Amino acid sequence: MLRTFITSALFLALGALGGWIFAFYPVPLPYMLGSMAASALAVAFLPSSITQDSKPPVHLRTPFIASIGLLIGAQVHLETLTSWQPIAIIALMVTLFTPLAHWLNYRFMQRFGGYDVPTAFFCAAPGGLIEAMTLGERAGANVAILTVQQFLRIVLVVTLIPLLMSIWVGHPVGSSAGLSQFSQAASSPLWQIVAVGAVGYALGLMLRIPAGQLTGPMIFAGLLTSTGWLPLTLPNWLIILAQIVIGTTLGLRFNGLSGAIVRRGLILALGSAAVMLALGAVLALLITSLADVSLSAAWLSLAPGGVNEMSLVALSIAADPALVTLAHVYRIALTVMIMSAWYPRLSRPLSPRA
């Protein structure tokens, strides 16, 4: 226990160093990508005697995920809660995107990966990493391949989205756009931040909604802020710490994976991510033509990354993070429903013809 704690603390320090180094260069989301790169390289090249106890510090990750929810909720205004048109349009596009992306991915994994039906189907899920692995294991999918493909989906989308957006706008995104507002005002007392986060986290657990550790604090902070009861202002250092913790835990997931499995999975994940991001871009353009939503917010709402990671990207570039988070919570819930209802039909043997 003590060894695991010390090892995790060292990897977090290494992740912080990687983020600090990346911050000197024009890199989007430097602290998250830098810490992810540092921890991934460490588990790849350090002796196994050191890395065998390097597990993602889940208990440490949770409060920082909750802090992202607070940061998003603190930006919610009453207009956001009453503007139903953008929410309805994005929900409609997510409803179109999710099954179509899943089906295209499924055919892609079968044809180019040569995976069997359960492995290809659950590898293709555009969300719900934990649910995909749980349901896939029950269905007889190859858990090692499934873990790699689902994890690489998140890593690639988290990496590619900020890079592509940086190319689009002509400068690195995520370095200051969404953070400047937090550094310009004095932050709320720490006890208020902790209290709102704890109540929101408990609310998320009770509601049992996807990503409740993020969504609960976001909803509670959003209600307090939008009604004027307790407007929250969170410090800039909090989002930097959140990037470091989330990035480090992502990088640590490479631990124990063979080079051959990672290389094969990476090639397939690149093709899969390209298909989903292109589909998302087309639907995002449609969203902007139907509702008053920026292209960055629309595309992020359809990007098949992790809800925590995509919310952090949206927060860092000030791309309507509350709307993006709601879209991803819905995407995950819809993906889980599709996996639960669609796979039994897909795997059912065809009845013999009379």
DSSP string, 61-106: HHHHHHHHHHHHHTT--HHHHH-HHHHHHHHHHHHHHHHHHHHHHH
Average pLDDT value for residue range 308-327: 80
Average pLDDT value for residue range 311-318: 76
Q: Percentage of the chain with pLDDT > 70?
A: 83
Long-range residue pairs from 284-293, CB within 8 A, at least 24 positions apart, any chain = 284/93, 286/93, 287/89, 287/90, 287/93, 290/89, 291/85, 291/86, 291/89, 291/90, 292/85, 292/86, 293/86, 293/89, 293/90, 293/320, 293/323
* Burial class (CB within 10 angstroms; exposed 0-12, middle 13-18, buried 19+) of 157: buried
Are 342 and 105 spatial neighbours (Cβ–Cβ below 8 Å)? no
Are 265 and 145 spatial neighbours (Cβ–Cβ below 8 Å)? yes
pLDDT top residue among 123 and 351:
123
Mean pLDDT score of the chain: 81
**Residues 242-265: pLDDT tens digits?**
888 888 888 887 776 667 777 888
pLDDT value of position 275: 92
pLDDT top residue among 351 and 216:
216
Q: Confidence band (pLDDT; 50, 70, 90) for 352? A: very low
The lowest-confidence range among 20-24, 61-65, 121-125 is 61-65
- Return d(Cα 148, Cα 205) in angstroms, integer: 28
Q: Confidence band (pLDDT; 50, 70, 90) for 28? A: low
| Residue 49 reports pLDDT greater than 70 | no
pLDDT top residue among 206 and 25:
206
pLDDT value of position 55: 61
CATH architecture of 29-45+60-346: Up-down Bundle (1.20)
Q: Confidence band (pLDDT; 50, 70, 90) for 80? A: low
Are 147 and 129 spatial neighbours (Cβ–Cβ below 8 Å)? no
**pTM of the predicted model, to two decimals?**
0.73
| Residue 21 reports pLDDT greater than 60 | yes
pLDDT top residue among 233 and 58:
233
